[in-house]
Structure 1
Amino acid sequence: MSAVHTPIGGHVPVAGGLATGGLKYAERIGAEVIQVFVGNPRGWAMPGGKPEEDARLRESGVPVFVHANYLINPGSPNPETLEKSLAAIRHALRRGHQIGAGGVVIHTGSSVSQSYEQAMRQIHERLLPVLEEIGEDGPPLLLEPMAGQSNMLCATVQQLGPYFEALEHHPKLGVCLDTCHAWAAGHDLTAPGGVKETMDALVATVGPGRLKLIHANDSKDPCGSCRDRHENIGAGHIGEAPFAELLRHPAAAGVPFVIETPGRDPEPHRKDIETLKRLRDASRTA
């Protein structure tokens, strides 16, 4: 097995400051990597950062990723929503650069009332220029496929293909794979060879090295449900075994795993991270 270290951590609250609150929570749950919001995840406000907090986060040595807000939809036919989405992506990328983030995650979005073809043309015309603005030392933009709800532009890993084509396989483009989303979209990770099939398809679709982050979440619902309801690791329909397989897959070597599992108390998050670390350590000796 590869000796490459795979960091395991979680999405952390930042009450009290991006670094102050985030790093304190990370320590409580044993996180080796963190993901943060840089604004209200359900609002359009784009707050600036505090230089001292940004510096502390950069200097902490803890890898960090940014999750952009949930309202972003680059496929929206509504001009106001589209403009706000593009502004929010630029803001998240700018803040990500300021804190030294390893990537900025956005949901791939929905065509809503327009056709899939129209939405993909719009993504080519409007989102590609945003990628062109990212400097050489700026964070990549990571596309996170959805759970397969109505009019979603991308749910299965194969559907990343047209999305990458629309964005001309830009070098600043990467992927964030959410296990709950993949499961909900129909990737049966519990079937014999299911994890390998999914990961091999991902690499075949977007190319090697594009997977930059994994959201490790179990699911409250059955495979193919198109329902995005996260569960704690091992407590849902996916179970522990597929996560062990995922940790052993070559395409996941060194790719950070971040939990987004339920619970406001740090204890269930600490247990989820401990479970993934146990599976990671076992995979090294398998």
Structure 2
Amino acid sequence: MTTQKKSPIGAHVPVAGGLGTGGLKYAAEIGAEAVQVFVSNPRGWAQAAGKPAEDARLREGGLPVYVHAPYLVNFGSPNPETLAKSLESVTHALARGREIGALGVVVHTGSAVTQSYELAMAQIHETLLPVLAGLPDDAPSLLLEPMAGQGAMLCATVDQLGPYFDALEHHPKLGVCLDTCHAFAAGHDLAADKGVEECLDLLVATVGEGRLRLVHANDSMDVCGSKKDRHENIGKGHIGAEAFGRLLGHPSVAGVPFIIETPGRSAEPHKADVEELKRLRDQD
């Protein structure tokens, strides 16, 4: 019997004091085995240049690193300015990710807003595919993160990743970041007996094996199907600890890092969440 490769357990870390210095210090405080960072203001369009010494420190820190693109990015927007800024922002995040040795850049799948779904997907094909096509071999993957399902979201349930992957021609640099809170809010009942298996099996059937590259491990303040994106600490919400144990044991997540984005303004709750996920991962 072969033992499944264990998933590193980590967190989105604050980078006060420097991307490498501050990020790795916080990671050590909470016992993180992987980190996710912002490389620019997550709520703005300004693109920050890196500091080579900090980039090197993070790159050489020994932990898998991921970048989260700014929240404003929306490839489905009918607004030409928003679309242009979204493409610039993600191109910058991919370039910075390459400089810090990141494995992936997480981006929200976006909304059609006021235009049709079909026009939004055609726009993604025309504008985002060239960005992927221009990436060097050592660039990070672009990881699509489905949303909670509010409004005209282009992708919420995992089967909706299919048309998105089709629009981007299943580019080899394309992957998925599954947020457990988003999936639960969108209607995947991860707390049900077979809920985790059904969700992950459908994900693999939709986009293929090996495309799940990251998990955002967040419990949910709200019930399944709520379409509300409100994260809760592991085991304290409606998903529950048992579901995360099943998630960590599923073959499709073997070795895939888990990153918490759970509530807390200090290290203590994040350390507790990391420890709980490690406990669930390591149980017999």
Letter in 2 for 1:28: E
The answer on whether the counterparts of 1:233 and 1:272 sit within 8 Å (CA) in structure 2 is yes
Give, in whole Å, the separation in 1 of the partners of 2:206 and 2:265.
36
Aligned residue for 1:23, secondary structure, equals: helix
Question: What does residue 71 of structure 1 align with?
Answer: 72
The offset of 1:192, in angstroms, is: 1.5
Is the contact between residue 2 and residue 253 of structure 1 (CA under 8 Å) also seen in structure 2? no
Taking the aligned partners of 1:159 and 1:101, their CA distance within structure 2 comes to: 26
Structure 1 residue runs of 4 or more that deviate by more than 6 Å after TM superposition:
none
* Corresponding residue of 1:277: 278
Cα offset, 1:6, TM superposition: 1.1
One-letter identity of the residue aligned with 2:39:
V
Mapped partners of 2:276, 2:182: distance in 1: 20
Q: How many angstroms does 1:60 deviate by?
A: 1.0
Give yes or no for contact 2:6–2:281 (8 Å, CA) kept in 1: no
Aligned positions of 1:104-115 closer than 5 A: 104-115=105-116
Number of the residue aligned with 2:253: 252
**Given residue 214 of structure 1, which amino acid in structure 2 is its aligned partner?**
V
Cross-structure match for 1:11: 12
Deviation of 1:53 after TM superposition, in Å, equals 0.5
Compute the TM-score of the two structures, normalised by the length of structure 2. Answer: 0.99
CA distance in 2, matches of 1:66, 1:237: 28
Give yes or no for contact 1:8–1:257 (8 Å, CA) kept in 2: yes
* 2:132 is the counterpart of 1:126: no
SS in 1 for 2:281: helix
Match of 1:267 in 2: 268
Question: Using the alignment, how far apart are the partners of 1:46 and 1:133 within structure 2?
Answer: 20
Residues 181 and 230 of structure 2 are in contact (CA less than 8 Å); yes or no, is this contact kept in structure 1?
A: yes
Look up the equivalent residue of 2:171 and give its one-letter code. Answer: H
Report the CA distance between 1:3 and its aligned residue. Answer: 3.8
- 1:50 aligns with 51
Quick one: distance in 1 between partners of 2:118 and 2:3? Answer: 41
**Cα distance per residue 1:200-236 (max 9 Å; x no partner):** 0000000000000000000000000000000000000
1:174 alignment counterpart: 175
Structure 1 Cα separation of the partners of residues 46 and 67 of structure 2: 15
Q: Shift of the alpha carbon at 1:250? A: 0.2
DSSP-derived class of the 1:163 partner = helix
Separation in structure 2 between the aligned mates of residue 150 and residue 167 of structure 1, nearest angstrom: 23
Output one character per residue of 1:232-283: Cα deviation in whole Å (capped at 9) or x when no partner: 000000010100000010000000000000011110000000000000000x
Give 1:62 shift. Answer: 1.0
Q: Post-superposition shift, 1:190?
A: 1.1
CA distance in 1, matches of 2:74, 2:34: 27
Aligned to 1:21: 22
Structure 1 residues 3 and 200, CA gap change in structure 2 (3 angstroms): closer
8 Å contact 1:148–1:155 — kept in the other structure?
Answer: yes
Gaps of at least 5 residues in structure 2 are: none
Matches within 5 A, 1:72-151: 72-151=73-152
How far apart are the structure 1 equivalents of 2:136 and 2:77? Answer: 26
- Identity rate, percent: 71
How many residues align structurally? Answer: 283
